[in-house]
Amino acid sequence: MDDEPELRTRDWLPRTAALVLGTLALASAFIAAYVGALHKPDPKDVPVAVVSSDQQAQAVMSAVRARTDTIKPVRYDSRDRAVDGLNDRSVYAVLGSAPGGLTLTTASAGAPAATELVTDVFTQAAQQAGVSLQVTDEVPVSGGDPRGLVPFYLAVGVVLGGYLASTALGISLGTSPRGLRQAGLRTATLAVHSALLGLIGAVLVGPVLDVFPHDVGTIAVVGALAAFAAGMVAAAVQAWLGLLGTGIVILLLVVLGNPGSGGIYAPEFLPAFLRGMHRWNVPGLATDLLKSAIYFDWRGGGWALTGLVVWVVVGLAGLFTATLIRARRRAARTAPGRRVAAEG
């Protein structure tokens, strides 16, 4: 009897130490990722379109590129294709020439900070060349979203809700479902939760806050998909790794996912190792798809939509595979005991 407190301490101490150390590691990574990525943006190779046959615009672009690597020229065969690149967010602006000077066509809704940078660079370049510059914003941000950050904040909210719902189910019911029926019920619960969260988010940024009042249905669908993708990814990782999986999910979706989403700053403003992350992580895909749906009539949203669907499929496969494997292991462990009981 006297040994019981000591045994409890031996069991409690390593688990508590692991949780504390894990929390410290995640918090430290959070600080390093956010401060490291966002404290001093260093834009490099911000893409700007120019038509190959436009000699005046080409000359100014070449002069800018010779001075700095901040701007990267992207050449198109025609003006129409360059504008298509602007609308699908392959470039942040289109530099052209007109009688008496230059034109710069932008789409600030894609990334206001990048648009501002590009405008400043070419305003100075035009002054140095002694020509005028006319700037036109083809896709401006909404009056309720002057910094263009609402799609990012909305994406963060629904992604956070998705993995928190999965974590809550894991705490209450166990991180790994005991059978396929339980896995199906967990998936259905996450789907309903995601649909409700998507609708709530759309109503909040629509009629309630009057940011995007005309896009409630669109935002609800995209928000639900993003929340469901985050929830399924979390459910799969937690089913395989248990409590450790929760820490990994936070690392991927929050610690690295948010600064690497391209939501606060355009990817070209981020450190090199984060610049391509928005093309595969859930917060980045959700942010890109929301911008595409709200501001660009779904143009350029194909990759983001495909990515979120892939994450849903991967999450489903991971959850159900883990459930099957763990169920078979439990059955294998109990089978010898059953045989012995039957023989007795």
pTM: 0.89
Give me the residue label for tokens 């979120």. Answer: 308
Phi-psi sector, 148: left (phi>0), alpha (psi -120 to 50), beta? left
Q: Cα separation of 45 and 267, whole Å?
A: 10
Lowest mean pLDDT among 28-37, 44-53, 192-201, 260-269: 28-37
Sign, CA dihedral 318-321-323-329, equals: negative
Q: State the Cα torsion 160-226-138-40 to the nearest 10°.
A: 40
Q: Cα separation of 231 and 257, whole Å?
A: 14
Q: Cα separation of 17 and 141, whole Å?
A: 48
Please count the other Cβ atoms lying within 10 Å of the Cβ belonging to residue 306.
Answer: 12
pLDDT in tens, 243-265: 888 889 988 898 888 898 988 89
Q: Cα separation of 267 and 76, whole Å?
A: 22
**Numbers of helices and strands, H then E, in the chain:** 10, 5
pLDDT in tens, 208-233: 999 999 889 999 999 999 999 999 99
Radius of gyration of the chain (CA): 25
Between CA 109 and CA 152, with CA 196 as vertex, the angle to 5 degrees is: 20
Give Cβ neighbours of residue 102 (< 8 Å, ≥ 6 apart): 56, 57, 60, 95, 96, 122, 126, 129, 131, 132, 133, 134
Lowest mean pLDDT among 13-22, 52-61, 111-120, 223-232: 13-22
Beta-ladder partners of 133: 102
Beta-ladder partners of 71: 46
Q: What is the b/e burial string over 193-231, where b = at least 16 CB atoms within 10 angstroms of the residue's CB? A: bbbebbbbbbeebbeeeebbeebbebbbbbbbbbbbbbb
Topology of 46-137 in CATH?
Answer: D-Maltodextrin-Binding Protein; domain 2 (3.40.190)
Banded model confidence at residue 6, pLDDT cuts 50, 70, 90: low
Banded model confidence at residue 327, pLDDT cuts 50, 70, 90: confident
Phi-psi sector, 102: left (phi>0), alpha (psi -120 to 50), beta? beta
| pLDDT value for 336 | 58
| pLDDT value for 316 | 97
Q: Cα separation of 223 and 155, whole Å?
A: 7
Percent of the chain topping pLDDT 90: 67
Going from N- to C-terminal start, the domains of the chain cover: 46-137, 149-333
Banded model confidence at residue 99, pLDDT cuts 50, 70, 90: confident
The mean per-residue pLDDT over the stretch 139-152 comes to 93
